[in-house]
Amino acid sequence: MVAHLGSELVRHALITGAAGMLGRKLAARLTDIDEVLLHDIVEPSAAPHAAYQSSSAASDLSSPGEAQKLLARRPELIFHLAAIVSGEAEADFDKGYRVNLDGTRRLFEAIRAIGDGYQPRVVFASSIAVFGAPFPDAIGDEFLCAPLTSYGTQKAIDELLLADYSRRGFFDGVGIRLPTICVRPGKPNRAASGFFSGIIREPLAGEEALLPVAKSVRHWFASPRAGVGFLLHAARLDTAPLGARRNLTMPGISATVGEQIEALRRVAGDAAARLIREQPDPVIQKIVEGWPRNFDARRAAALGFRADASFDDIIRAHIEDELRPQPS
């Protein structure tokens, strides 16, 4: 993965949000690093068969002094994934700003306070929620950030902070706007986008799934496998071509809910597709109407970021990674 950043050997890395789905998968794929500190609000588990020494810590990153503790070993590489999801940030305004904004600001400030030439690579997990309607047919790299949710607003502010702290030389930051990650394994979370995974994950497990929006709803997707690939590529990316524009929209797959269902039918058969039951939810429908649908992510693609080839491949990746027995 990452042996060097420029001429610097990566000896220590930090993953915040390491107990989350992407954090766990990222930790499992890291190589060529001596030590990794895994952090979250609950203590993360060590990655099985990790090729590095790992330690874990549980704390609230938004609390005073916690970020400083995580930086005690001066990690050369920091993956900042810690956040609460969109639905929860919309439901709890104070918590959303405390976790998604204050936690990020405290981490950035703790890095700046070290000084003494310390300038780690910071890979920040942003979101396509930084964009708000009305949208063009495909959102290009010049489209403005005008979010219509509190979550999107928090991520947009974080992007500005990352760009400014990088401009000032406090760290070397890359912000990656992740598509909606699908299919997410495990139990549903409080993300408003959770049904996008649910209508694939549950039928593949032989369970009924509820569809709260119209089949015509279109959205932007990437598999967990691709999402981890984006993070790893951002960690080793030459940031000189980015200039002051440190935040990138990741490539993905644009698909309607109906196209998702047809992909499920092609991969898993009619019986799986019949397990999806339409149950309209006006609250979810309203939130989704303000989300992006399609992107022209040519800047990230030119820098070497690669997405899934099709939604069928997204489903196949879920089957291979989550539903087939893994070697012990």
| 166 phi and psi angles, rounded to 5 deg | -70, -45
Query: Could you say which of 52, 97, 151, 165 is catalytic?
Result: 151
Dist CA 221 CA 227 (whole Å): 10
Dist CA 178 CA 220 (whole Å): 9
Q: 222: exposed, middle or buried (C-beta count within 10 Å: 0-12, 13-18, 19+)?
A: buried
Q: Which residues of 75-104 are buried (b: 16+ CB within 10 A; e: fewer)?
A: bbbbbbbbbbbbbbbbeeeeebbbbbbbbb
All residues at 6 or more sequence positions from 274 whose CB lies less than 8 Å from its CB, including other chains: none
Q: Are strands 209-211 and 77-80 parallel, antiparallel or unpaired?
A: unpaired
Dist CA 279 CA 212 (whole Å): 5
CA distances to 124, 213, 235, 239 from 169, rounded to whole Å, are: 16, 45, 17, 12
Element (H, E) at 25: helix 21-29
Dist CA 50 CA 233 (whole Å): 19
151 is catalytic: yes
Query: Which two structure tokens, joined as six digits, stand for 22?
Result: 């992407």
Give me the active site residues, please. 151
